[in-house]
């Protein structure tokens, strides 16, 4: 497959590893922010072929993992209403809320449907005018424009029965929060390639300017990741701190202005609530006035009291402070068949990837 | 098992399915024929050993590119018998039909069953039909059971794998699950993606003629290659190393997998087999497989090792390693 | 969740395109990336094209990677 297979070439990978070995002279800790990077790194066994002194820690870039329990509980409460259809991306189905999950509710007969695109939510709303269709809007800036398009279409087509549970997040403010806590030593960032396709390079400049760390916007194929790591190491060795683009074939400095405009038409920045990281300023969205009617949080609905397992380490894992191996529940109680926290549910969750892929 | 209700994932062939068997069924039914949990049970008789197996089919939709629920039902049972080294001979056929189901469609399915039973050389010798009210079943569910005598001189089982053995796969992964899914979800392809549903008994005969010391045969159905390899690794208490670049996957299946975030190593197949053979026999066995229409794309995909027992390790495309675990959760329901 | 796969545009009808991903055909929206022609590749995310794939940049990246790997 074009633009995929070429970037999985074994010989080039071996050569790049040699280059990395030659370039790296000191112990370095790099954070890979995006869940899709976490998966790719494990899928190809990249940790095992890097020199020992380079450590990759996983960050909070898994939108499913950082969805607060309260949002899951709200979705569940909504699903229990007879006239509601829940439309969601598949990853949310097994995330545990305080006492249940969408998958369990589906087994009880609630109308919960998996969709692959926000536009499918529009279709369902049109097909069932007598029902309220609620789309769980979860994702980062890669997904937000697609949600904005669905909202704009719904308004245009005067669809009054489509609502959105807005739990979208913005990545750069979360990175700022991580750098401010100083709890993890991060030598540099492997930045999310697809989020950057939308937002471009500027939202990350503060990483270099205010916090003096290098960062590289990186693609997801193994050669992309290896090149991205090499570019970071080179900056570190040369004592430079800049934001660079490795993923040049789809990331431009200005991002995707059309997509940014769509987001801007519908949403404005707001504080965001992240599981594990708490409230982060500017890291979420709220609906602009003309679209507020689609916000499902306006519904009068009773949601059960919030409960989280006291021993679940998801919060610290998401910040890179602890590894899943340090969690007392990991593998013993918490595993993909019985996830205690969202990090074990999402295929991009750090705990799930460690469980599935961790090398002996 | 923390669940108090059956979830779709309990039927996916992965971890929850195995838990269900271990915790609910096995404690009630202890007997030497059942316990190995191979694809068929071996029943020793004065005159030899009989293989006996059963399967139910709930695939949705019932017609898909490359086959239908009837063809699937015969192939599934024929293959389970072949995997244990039996020559499939007699099948039972039980139908649960939803009131209102089209008789024309039923005829098509029965005709399909006849066709593939003939191809496989088996007879349908007993059957049953039940009809339930509209809504109590989804169109048609089928159960088949099958028997056959196990060939003399072969001993196939998931407990036989030994360090040094080689692992072969008969062809492309994921065709069946993707064909069913594409029919269900309306996916389109350049060219046609068909289920690989096929009776493997003839291929198996030729393989056993050449290499009667094959240790184990298994067909990677629900849960895919990864789950099946894990089952064997656990039963034999051995490790396995699989070479990712040797595992054949069609480009269209790769394309749809990448797009939907699926892993071809976990997709269901209905016309493929895994063979574990002693060292130094693999090249000859590969040649024999490749001469057969159902083994033309066969590859030697890995080896059995002593290290990391019960673990299957994938040697990745770029030279790294990762663990290949059993299927957890479930990918899609009603694929078989 | 930030899955994005390159696909080749083979048909365009108003703001929708048919794309080919290794033989798998999919209809996606061009609302976020309207300026594409047949034969070009786009990055696909949840049923939308979110950016064009720049073939020239891809080639340059690969050339650089090959050189790096060869130790040049």
pLDDT, tens only, B270-279: 999 999 999 9
Q: At what angle do helices A118-127 and A144-156 cross, to 10 degrees?
A: 30
Residue B80 predicted with pLDDT over 60 = yes
CA dihedral for B288, B291, B295, B298, sign (positive or negative) = positive
Given a cut of 90, whether residue A243 has pLDDT beyond it is: yes
Chain A CA closest to residue B244: A44
**Residue A16, token pair as written in the block:** 């790049």
Residue A286: pLDDT band by 50, 70, 90 thresholds?
A: very high
Are A227 and C47 an interchain contact pair (Cβ–Cβ within 8 Å)?
Answer: no
Does A92 score more than 90 pLDDT? no
Q: Say yes or no to pLDDT of B188 above 90.
A: no
Beta-carbon count within 10 A of B4 CB: 6
Residues 26 through 65 of chain C touching chain B, CB cutoff 8 Å = 26, 44
pLDDT tens figures, A128-172? 999 999 999 999 999 999 999 999 999 999 999 999 999 999 999
Stretch A344-348: mean pLDDT: 78
Token reading at B164: 């040094």
- Given this model, what pLDDT does residue B145 score? 97
Please state, in angstroms and rounded to a whole number, the distance separating the CA atoms of residues B81 and B98.
29
Which chain A residue shows the shortest CA-CA distance from C70?
Answer: A15
Confidence at residue A348, expressed as pLDDT on a 0 to 100 scale:
75
CA distance B317 to B322: 11
For residue B90, pLDDT over 90 is answered with: yes
Largest CA distance in chain A: 65
Q: What are phi and psi of C29, to 5 degrees?
A: -90, 140
Evaluate whether A119 touches A95 at the Cβ level (below 8 Å): no
Over 90: is that where the pLDDT of B191 sits? no
Here the ipTM equals 0.96
Q: What is the CA radius of gyration of chain C?
A: 14
Average pLDDT over every residue of A49-71: 90
Nearest to A1 among C22, C48, C58 (CB): C22
pLDDT value at residue A63: 87
Question: What's the rounded Cα separation, in Å, for the pair A86 and A106?
Answer: 10
User: Confidence class of residue C34 from pLDDT cuts 50, 70 and 90?
Assistant: very high
Show the tokens assigned to B3: 């669940």
Question: Which are the contacts of B209, defined by CB distance < 8 A and separation ≥ 6?
Answer: none
pLDDT band for position C22 (cuts 50, 70, 90)? confident
Task: Tell me what the mean pLDDT of segment B295-300 comes to.
Answer: 98
Comparing A15-24, A234-243, B34-43, C45-54, the range with the smallest average pLDDT is B34-43
| Average pLDDT over every residue of A187-196 | 97
Reported confidence tier of residue B185, pLDDT bands at 50, 70, 90? confident
B188 compared with B247, residue with greater pLDDT:
B247
**What's the confidence (pLDDT) of residue B148?**
96
Q: Chain C neighbours among B 245-264 (CB < 8 Å)?
A: 250-252, 254-256, 258-259, 261
Chain A residues lying within 8 Å of B320, measured CB to CB = 44-49
Q: Report pLDDT for B198.
A: 98
pLDDT at B52 > cutoff 80: yes
Contact between chains at C26 and B187 (C-beta distance less than 8 A): yes
Chain C residues touching B188 at Cβ < 8 A: 24-26
Measured CA angle at B201 (ends B172, B45), to 5 deg: 135
8 Å CB contact of B320 and A1: no
Chains that touch B (3 or more CB pairs under 8 A): A, C
Q: At what angle do helices A222-237 and A35-43 cross, to 10 degrees?
A: 110
CB contact under 8 A, A48 and B251: no
Give the number of residues written for chain A: 360
CA angle B169, B173, B178 (to 5 degrees): 160
| Single pTM value for the model | 0.90
Confidence of residue A239 (pLDDT cuts 50, 70, 90): very high
Query: Is A360 touching B (CB cutoff 8 A)?
Result: yes
Nearest to B308 among A43, A222, A360 (CB): A360
Residue of A358, A106, C3, A349 whose CA lies nearest to B9 = A106
Percent of chain A with pLDDT over 90: 69
Please give the Cα distance from B255 to C6 (Å, whole number): 10
**pLDDT score, position B3:** 66
Which comes out higher in pLDDT, residue A78 or B334? A78
Question: According to the model, what pLDDT value does residue B2 have?
Answer: 58
Q: Is the predicted pLDDT of residue A333 greater than 60, yes or no? A: yes
Distance, in Å, from the CA atom of A156 to the CA atom of B164, rounded to the nearest integer, reads 66
- pLDDT-derived band at B332, boundaries 50, 70, 90: low
Average pLDDT over residues A104-114: 92
State residue C72's pLDDT score: 57
């Amino acid at each position: 497959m074009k633009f995929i297979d070429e970037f999985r070439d074994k010989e080039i990978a071996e050569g790049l590893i040699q280059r990395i070995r030659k370039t790296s002279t000191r112990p370095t800790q790099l954070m890979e922010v995006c869940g899709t990077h976490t998966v790719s790194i494990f899928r190809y066994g990249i940790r095992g072929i890097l020199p020992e002194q380079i450590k990759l820690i996983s960050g909070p870039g898994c939108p499913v993992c950082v969805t607060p329990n309260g949002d899951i509980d709200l979705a569940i409460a909504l699903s229990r209403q007879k006239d509601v259809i829940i439309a969601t991306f598949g990853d949310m189905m097994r995330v545990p809320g305080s006492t249940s999950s969408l998958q369990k509710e589906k087994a009880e007969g609630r109308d919960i449907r998996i969709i692959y695109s926000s536009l499918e939510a529009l279709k369902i709303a049109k097909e069932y005018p007598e029902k309220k269709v609620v789309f769980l809007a979860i994702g980062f800036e890669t997904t937000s424009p697609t949600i904005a398009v669905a909202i704009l279409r719904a308004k245009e087509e005067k669809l009054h029965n489509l609502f959105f549970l807005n739990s979208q997040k913005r990545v750069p403010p979360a990175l700022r929060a991580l750098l401010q806590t100083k709890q993890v030593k991060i030598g540099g960032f492997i930045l999310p390639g697809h989020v950057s396709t939308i937002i471009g390079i500027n939202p990350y400049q503060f990483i270099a300017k205010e916090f003096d760390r290098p960062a590289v916007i990186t693609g997801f194929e193994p050669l992309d990741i290896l090149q991205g790591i090499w570019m970071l190491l080179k900056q570190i060795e040369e004592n430079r701190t800049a934001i660079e683009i490795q993923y040049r074939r789809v990331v431009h400095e200005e991002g995707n202005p059309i997509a940014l405009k769509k987001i801007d038409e519908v949403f404005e920045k707001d504080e965001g609530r992240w599981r594990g990281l708490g409230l982060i300023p500017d890291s979420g969205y709220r609906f602009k006035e003309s679209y507020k009617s689609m916000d499902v949080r306006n519904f009068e609905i009773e949601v059960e009291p919030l409960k989280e397992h006291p021993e679940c380490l998801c919060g610290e894992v998401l910040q890179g402070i602890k590894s899943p191996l340090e969690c007392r529940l990991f593998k013993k109680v918490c595993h993909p068949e019985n996830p205690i926290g969202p990090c074990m549910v999402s295929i991009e969750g750090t705990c799930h990837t460690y469980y599935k892929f961790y090398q002996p | 098992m923390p669940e108090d209700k059956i979830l779709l994932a309990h039927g996916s062939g992965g971890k929850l399915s195995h838990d269900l068997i271990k915790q609910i069924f096995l404690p009630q039914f202890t007997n030497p024929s059942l316990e190995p949990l191979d694809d068929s049970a071996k029943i020793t008789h004065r005159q030899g050993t009989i293989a006996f197996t059963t399967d139910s089919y709930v695939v949705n939709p019932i017609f898909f590119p490359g086959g239908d629920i009837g063809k699937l039902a015969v192939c599934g049972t024929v293959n389970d018998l072949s995997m244990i080294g039996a020559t499939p001979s007699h099948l039972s056929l039980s139908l649960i039909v939803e009131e209102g189901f089209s008789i024309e469609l039923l005829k098509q399915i029965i005709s399909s069953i006849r066709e593939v039973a003939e191809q496989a050389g088996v007879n349908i010798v007993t059957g049953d039909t039940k009809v339930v009210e509209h809504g109590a079943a989804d169109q048609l569910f089928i159960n088949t059971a099958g028997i056959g005598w196990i060939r003399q001189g072969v001993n196939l089982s998931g407990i036989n794998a030994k360090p040094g053995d080689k692992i072969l796969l008969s062809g492309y992964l994921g065709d069946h699950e993707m064909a069913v899914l594409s029919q269900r979800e309306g996916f389109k392809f350049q060219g046609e993606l068909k289920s690989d549903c096929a009776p493997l008994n003839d291929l198996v005969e030729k393989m056993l003629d050449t290499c009667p010391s094959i240790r184990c045969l298994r067909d990677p159905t629900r849960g895919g290659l990864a789950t099946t390899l894990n089952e064997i690794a656990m039963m034999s208490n051995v490790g396995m190393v699989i070479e990712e670049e040797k595992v054949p996957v069609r480009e269209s299946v790769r394309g749809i997998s990448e797009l939907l975030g699926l892993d071809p190593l976990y997709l269901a197949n209905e016309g493929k087999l895994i063979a574990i053979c002693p060292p130094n026999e693999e090249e000859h066995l590969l040649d024999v497989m490749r001469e057969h229409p159902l083994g033309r794309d066969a590859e030697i995909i890995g080896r059995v090792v002593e290290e990391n027992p019960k673990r299957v390790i994938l040697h990745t495309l770029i030279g790294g390693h990762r663990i290949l675990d059993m299927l957890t959760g479930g990918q899609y329901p009603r694929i078989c | 969740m930030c899955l994005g796969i390159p696909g080749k545009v083979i048909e365009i009808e108003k703001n929708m395109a048919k794309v080919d991903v290794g033989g798998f055909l999919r209809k996606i929206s061009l609302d976020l990336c309207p300026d594409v022609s047949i034969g070009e590749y786009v990055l696909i995310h949840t049923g939308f094209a979110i950016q064009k794939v720049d073939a020239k940049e891809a080639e340059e990246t690969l050339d650089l990677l090959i050189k790096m790997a060869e130790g040049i």
